[in-house]
Amino acid sequence: MSKKVAVVTGANKGIGLAIVRELCKAKFTGDVILTARNEKLGNEAVKMLKSEGFEVSYHHLDICDQGSAKQLNDATETFGEQAEVTMRTNFWGTLWVCHALLPLLRPNARVVNVSSFVSKKALDTCSPQLQAKFRDTELSEEELCLLMGQFVIAAQQGNHQAQGWPSTAYGTTKIGVTVLSRIQAHFLTKTRAADGILLNACCPGWVRTDMAGSKAPKSPEEGAQTPTYLALLPDGMKEPHGQFVWDKTVQEW
């Protein structure tokens, strides 16, 4: 393929669907691929977008499972179980997809990892030792993965807070996504400095989705603004890169 390609994960509804729509509205000069775990819902979303005049294709993708799809039941989870499942989806899933797609990036590619403002709040409740590790610009991907694994083990043992971890599994996994984005950006700068690739993490904000509920202040379309802004940064820009961006503004980490 000679054209650009935009791959949006979890895009059959909510923020992901809104990002696809915003990319199409912005006349993204390439192929827009909508991915979702559920093939029926993914294809229905594509059909709806095509009825609006947008050209989108569907590809199945379950970012939280490297092999066959895993069915989760609705039983009440312990914090340890919640930590494992949430880490698998938010952190490991993002890492696996990035490992698959980053080698395919063309010059001037844009990568946007969806994190959350909760990552910053969770970081502030970590022990000083953990905060220093997560703010260390020399932290490697391997060291970050080890830390994420240590959190899950501590959560399963019930002593995560005693070890300096936050009481939020979601927030901790999003710390991982934000820091992973910085590490990946540094790697791209070292290995492909002349290619103009920009990679960032962002917070869409508190958005009215199935997870956040109906009381959230932002619509999915509003939540899609910052991810779309980062995905469409013009060629030749040097920044932001390796940053955490919220409301189109770089946040201090």
Q: Is 229 a catalytic residue?
A: no
| 6, β-bridge pairs | 32
Q: Compute the distance between CA of residue 199 and CA of residue 117 in angstroms, rounded to an integer.
A: 18
Q: Residue 45 and residue 183: Cα distance in Å, rounded? A: 33
Strand partners, 58: 34
pTM (two decimals):
0.76
Q: What pLDDT, on the 0 to 100 scale, is given for residue 69?
A: 34
Residue 11 is encoded by which pair of tokens?
């895009």
pLDDT in tens, 119-150: 998 999 999 999 999 999 999 999 999 999 99
CA distance 166 to 234: 37
Model confidence pLDDT, tens digit, residues 147-183:
999 999 999 998 999 999 988 888 999 999 999 999 9
How do beta strands 4-8 and 110-114 pair? Answer: unpaired
Dihedral (CA of 68, 201, 246, 27) sign: negative
Q: Which residues of the chain have pLDDT under 70?
A: 1-3, 65-77, 211-213
Is the peptide bond preceding residue 240 cis, with omega within 30 degrees of 0?
Answer: yes
Catalytic residue among 170, 229, 244, 246: 170
